[in-house]
């Protein structure tokens, strides 16, 4: 009897089971990033930087040399790595509390210097690991454990659009916003991730892919409801598409 | 080689380059801005990396990245900036990475002042950031010694995979003195733990540069490694200057520029027939506890005086060292008010009971 292999998990992911909740988008994005690294033949020269947040253990999952950074500092850590190993592929993987709150200075200035690194930015409109607090990306009216009556614009401001903001910076070379709420969008996300890594390896400058991603646990929804909520509520405020390409 | 007249900060920066440091991340702050200014021109000449970061926080996190990638790397700052770096320094300590940090101390707390001070002794010798860790701390008393200490710090950091902090005061950074620069790269060690790109066929495990040890007993094991390493350092790396201790009636304990001021007072007192010796710690951690005790315990010694540009921080370590064998007195002020030669002379005379 002969067998034919129809699908294999990428070798750029380890065999360690993910700790992510059912319906979480992190698992999808981890696989997309790992597949792109493998398909581009970059694994032997890739160094990744994990954040503080739900993806804190990303260093256990990506089967390449990895760093764990302090909260928000991944772009600075990646800068240090890339400057001493300019021929390597260096990426950060960060959530919205990490990147859009405590780490805003680091991400803005990595883009500003045109650091030749790639950032994978997961926007799920909430703090996941600490249990569902308001993030800078939380939508107006969205209930969280620190905005129990819904985010009040006058009290807490309106959610920050990271991709648009970073696209205004000269050093940014490729910025795109994607979502992982449907098969079609997942395929688009993978293409965008590949484009970002290609931009880095071509030495063009800073690249970032913002990915709208569901958090059913902290949104208080089922995985299916969360995908629908993302499409109905997040995409209208956070439009998908290429924000910057040089 | 002929001696060159150099400003402290520039001599320190060039000594780092000579030692093989090829990587600097920093941020401007008085009184150490001459360091990034110098290295912004010098690093490109030697194929090195210079980045002016957006903040001290980012600069120190860049050091973490570069150190984990195997580079010989340093940063520098002055007191308020060193406080900002502590997040990354604690991370670097937890990840067991080598790097060199220069603190050209100014007065505090807060923004404080820009004049010289020794107010960061506690921060430097008690770890600085959160968590139970140590860093090697070296305090120079001249521009020559600052250059020599900086030159040797990289090999020391590599050897023990930990932070070496050079704790200078604003005088050392800003004054000019003749200096004979140490030359030639210092010994480097293999860094098989560094993140440099990996495949399953590599002859080393996959690198994970990390200070997170969430599963016990991993964190306990980290601290067991620390304890063994710290014991080795305390046994092998203590440095101090013992000065005119023979027949001394009094012993002064002081470090950095303060120790030089004390030497002027000791000379005046010697002319008046009062014999005063000094122990000048060069390593503040590991602290020369034994030398401090032995000087105080000398039969000729009646009592001891600690002099600092602080309210008495090293004084705690001196009292642990002296351990009650002789009386201990203190002269110093918080902020940047510096004990004068006349005050030191008067203090010793009052301890002797003469006018």
The sign of the torsion formed by the CA atoms of B113, B119, B121, B122 equals negative
pLDDT of residue A1: 72
Confidence of residue B183 (pLDDT cuts 50, 70, 90): confident
The beta-carbon neighbor of A70 closest among B91, B196, B199 is B91
ipTM of the complex: 0.97
Q: How far is CA B239 from CA A223, A229, B194, B336, in A?
A: 63, 65, 30, 26
pLDDT confidence of residue A106: 98
Tell me the mean pLDDT in the region B3-22. Answer: 96
- B209 contacts on A by Cβ (under 8 Å): 66-68
**Residue B80 falls within a domain, yes or no?**
yes
The region, left, alpha or beta by phi > 0 then psi within -120 to 50, assigned to residue A104 is alpha
Residue B130 lies in a domain: yes
Q: Are residues B256 and B215 in the same domain?
A: no
Q: What percent of chain A has pLDDT over 70?
A: 100
Instruction: Report if residue A19 sits inside a domain.
Output: no
For residue A237, tell me if it sits in a domain.
Answer: yes
Inter-chain residue contact B66 with A73, CB threshold 8 Å: no
Q: Do B17 and B113 fall within a single domain?
A: yes
Select from A56, A70, A80 the Cβ nearest to the Cβ of B87.
Answer: A70
Strand partners of residue B26: B52
Interface contact A70-B70, CB threshold 8 A: no
Q: Which residue of A has its CA nearest to B57?
A: A73
Chain B residue nearest residue A105, CA to CA: B54
A150 assigned to some structural domain: yes
Q: What pLDDT score was predicted for residue B15? A: 97
Q: Decide if pLDDT at A166 tops 80.
A: yes
* B109: containing domain: 4-187+209-236
- In tens, the pLDDT along A49-82 reads 999 999 999 999 999 999 999 999 999 999 999 9
Verdict on whether the full-model pTM lies above 0.95: yes
Give the best residue of B75, B86, B197 to mutate against chain A (max A CB count within 10 A).
B197
Q: Is A220 helix (H, G, I), strand (E, B) or coil?
A: coil
CA-CA distances (angstroms) from residue A209 to A89, A93, A122, A172, A185?
16, 10, 8, 11, 13
Q: At residue B355, does pLDDT exceed 80? A: no
Q: What is the DSSP letter of A173?
A: E
Instruction: Name the pLDDT band for B55 (thresholds 50, 70, 90).
Output: very high
Q: Nearest Cβ partner of A46 from B53, B197, B200?
A: B197
Indicate if B140 and B260 belong to the same structural domain.
no
Residue A5 domain-assigned? no
Residues forming beta bridges with residue B102, ordered by sequence position: B76, B166
For residues B8-25, give the mean pLDDT.
Answer: 97
Could B66 and A83 be called an inter-chain contact, meaning their C-beta atoms sit closer than 8 Å?
yes
How many CB contacts within 8 angstroms connect chain A with chain B?
130
pLDDT score for B182: 87
**A140-152 burial, b for 16+ CB within 10 Å, e for fewer?**
eebbbebbeeebe
As for how many domains chain A has, the answer is 1
pLDDT tens-digit map of B85-115: 999 999 999 999 999 999 999 999 999 999 9
Q: Which chain B residues are Cβ-neighbours of A105 within 8 angstroms?
A: 54-55, 57-58
**Domain residues for A44?**
26-245
Residue B257 in domain:
yes
Cis previous bond, B31, omega within 30: yes
The answer as to whether A14 is a domain residue is no
Evaluate whether residue A71 is within a structural domain. yes
B128 domain-assigned: yes
The burial class, CB within 10 Å (0-12 / 13-18 / 19+), for B47 is exposed
Residue B197 lies in a domain: no
- Has residue B1 got a pLDDT over 70? no
Q: Is B181 at the interface with chain A, CB within 8 A?
A: no
Note whether B44 contacts A: Cβ–Cβ < 8 A.
no
CATH of the domain at A75: 3.40.50.970
Tokens of A20: 């992510």
What contacts A242, CB < 8 A, 6 or more positions away? A174, A175, A176, A192
Cα torsion A5, A10, A14, A16: sign: negative
CB distance from B92 to chain A under 8 Å? no
- Could you tell me if residue B81 is inside a domain? yes
Residues B221 and B281 in one domain: no
- Residues in A touching B211 (Cβ below 8 Å): 68
Q: Tell me what pLDDT residue B225 has.
A: 98
For the cut 70, the answer to whether the pLDDT of residue B4 exceeds it is yes
Q: B209 and A43: CB-CB below 8 Å?
A: no
**Contact call for B208 and A44, based on CB within 8 A:** no
B275 with B232, same domain: the answer is no
pLDDT in tens, A97-116: 999 999 999 999 999 999 99
Tell which B residues from 188 to 217 touch A, by Cβ distance under 8 Å.
Answer: 195-200, 206-212
CB B331 within 8 A of CB B343: yes
Say if residue B8 is in the same domain as residue B102. Answer: yes
Note whether B30 and B79 are same-domain residues.
yes
Q: DSSP readout, A85-123? A: -TTSEEEEEEEHHIIIIITHHHHHHHHHTT-S-EEEEEE
- Domain shared by B55 and B112, yes or no: yes
Q: How far is A106 from chain B (nearest CA, A)?
A: 7
Q: Using CA of residue A74, residue A77, residue A82, residue A85, what is the dihedral sign?
A: negative
Indicate if B221 and B250 belong to the same structural domain.
Answer: no
Contacts of B203 in chain A (CB under 8 A): none
Answer yes or no: do B278 and B141 share one domain. no
Q: Is residue B195 part of a domain?
A: no
The answer to whether A16 contacts chain B (CB < 8 Å) is: no
Q: Are A81 and B66 in contact (CB under 8 A)?
A: yes
**Cβ of A105 and B198 within 8 Å?**
no
Tell me if chain A has a CB within 8 Å of the CB of B122.
no
Nearest to residue B154, comparing CAs of B105, B229, B102, B93? B102
* In a shared domain, residues B321 and B220: no
Q: Residue B186 pLDDT more than 90?
A: no
pLDDT per residue as tens digits for the range B264-302: 999 999 999 999 999 999 999 999 999 999 999 999 999
> At residue B127, does pLDDT exceed 90?
no
Contact: A88, B49; criterion CB under 8 Å? no
Domain assignment of residue A4, yes or no = no
pLDDT tier for residue A122 given thresholds of 50, 70 and 90: very high
Do A65 and B207 count as a contact with CB atoms less than 8 A apart?
yes
Residues 6+ away with beta carbon under 8 Å from B60 = B25, B75, B84, B85, B87, B88, B89, B92, B101
A21, pLDDT greater than 70: yes
Q: How far is A36 from chain B (nearest CA, A)?
A: 16
Asked if the model's pLDDT at residue B185 lies above 80, the reply is no
At residue B104, the 3 state secondary structure works out as strand
pLDDT of residue B251: 98
**Integer Cα distance of B266 and B244 in angstroms:** 9
Do B254 and B339 lie in one domain? The reply is: yes
Does residue A12 lie in a domain region? no
- How many CB atoms lie under 10 A from the CB of residue B110? 9
Instruction: Provide the chain A residues 42-101 that lie in CB contact (below 8 A) with chain B.
Output: 43-47, 49, 56, 59-60, 63-70, 73, 76-85, 88
| Among A63, A70, A80, beta carbon nearest to B206 | A63
User: What CATH number should be reported for the domain holding residue B335?
Assistant: 3.40.50.920
- The domain tally of chain B equals 2
How sure is the predictor about B26, in pLDDT bands with cuts at 50, 70 and 90? Answer: very high
> Which residues in chain B touch residue A84, judged by CB atoms under 8 angstroms apart?
22-23, 49, 65-66, 69-71, 73
Q: Do B66 and A45 touch (CB under 8 A)?
A: no
């Amino acid at each position: 009897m002969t067998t034919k292999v129809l699908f294999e998990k990428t070798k750029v992911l380890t065999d360690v089971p993910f700790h992510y909740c059912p319906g979480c988008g992190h698992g999808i994005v981890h696989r997309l990033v790992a597949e792109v690294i493998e398909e581009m033949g970059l694994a032997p020269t890739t160094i990744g930087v994990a954040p503080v947040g739900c993806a804190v253990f990303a260093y256990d999952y990506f089967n390449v040399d990895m760093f764990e950074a302090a909260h928000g500092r991944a772009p600075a850590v990646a800068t240090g790595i890339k400057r001493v190993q300019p021929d390597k592929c260096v990426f950060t993987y960060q959530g919205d509390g990490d990147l859009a709150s405590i780490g805003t200075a680091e991400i803005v200035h990595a883009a500003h210097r045109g650091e030749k690194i790639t950032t994978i930015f997961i926007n799920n409109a909430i703090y996941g690991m600490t249990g569902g607090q308001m993030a800078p990306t939380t939508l107006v009216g969205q209930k969280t454990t620190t905005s129990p009556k819904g985010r009040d614009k006058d009290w807490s401001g309106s959610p920050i659009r990271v991709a648009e903001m970073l696209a205004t910076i000269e050093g940014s070379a490729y910025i795109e916003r994607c979502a992982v709420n449907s098969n079609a969008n997942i395929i688009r996300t993978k293409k965008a991730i590949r484009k970002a890594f290609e931009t880095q390896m071509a030495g063009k400058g800073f690249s970032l892919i913002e990915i709208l991603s569901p958090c059913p646990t902290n949104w208080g929804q089922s995985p299916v409801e969360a995908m629908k909520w993302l499409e109905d509520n997040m995409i209208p405020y956070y439009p998908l598409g290429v924000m910057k390409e040089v | 080689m002929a001696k060159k007249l150099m400003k402290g900060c520039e001599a320190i920066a060039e000594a780092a380059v000579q030692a093989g440091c090829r990587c600097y991340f920093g941020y401007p702050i008085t009184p150490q801005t001459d360091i990034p200014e110098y290295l912004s021109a010098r690093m490109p000449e030697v194929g090195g990396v210079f980045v002016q970061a957006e903040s001290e926080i980012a600069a120190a996190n860049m050091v973490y990245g570069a150190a984990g990638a195997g580079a010989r790397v340093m940063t520098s700052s002055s007191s308020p900036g060193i406080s900002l770096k502590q997040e990354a320094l604690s991370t670097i300590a937890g990840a067991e990475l080598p790097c060199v940090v220069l603190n050209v101390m100014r007065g505090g707390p807060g923004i404080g002042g820009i004049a010289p001070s020794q107010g960061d002794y506690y921060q430097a010798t008690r770890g600085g950031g959160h968590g139970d860790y140590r860093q090697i701390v070296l305090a120079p008393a001249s521009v020559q010694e600052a250059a020599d200490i900086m030159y040797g710090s990289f090999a020391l950091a590599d050897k023990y995979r930990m932070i070496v902090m050079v704790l200078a005061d604003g005088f050392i950074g800003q004054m000019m003195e003749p200096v004979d620069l140490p030359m030639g790269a210092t010994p480097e060690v293999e860094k098989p733990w560094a993140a440099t790109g990996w495949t399953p066929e590599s002859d080393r495990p996959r690198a994970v540069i990390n200070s997170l040890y969430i599963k016990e007993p991993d964190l306990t094991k980290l601290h067991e490694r620390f304890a063994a390493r710290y014991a080795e350092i305390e046994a092998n790396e203590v440095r101090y200057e013992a000065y005119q201790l023979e027949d001394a009636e009094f012993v002064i304990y002081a470090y950095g520029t303060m120790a030089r001021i004390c030497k002027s007072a000791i000379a005046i007192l010697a002319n008046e027939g009062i014999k005063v010796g000094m122990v000048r710690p060069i390593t503040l951690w590991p602290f020369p506890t034994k030398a401090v005790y032995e000087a105080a315990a000398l039969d000729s010694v009646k009592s001891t005086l600690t002099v600092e540009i602080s309210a008495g921080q090293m004084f705690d370590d001196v009292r642990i060292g002296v351990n009650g064998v002789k009386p201990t007195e203190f002269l110093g002020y918080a902020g940047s008010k510096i004990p004068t030669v006349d005050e030191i002379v008067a203090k010793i005379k009052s301890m002797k009971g003469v006018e």
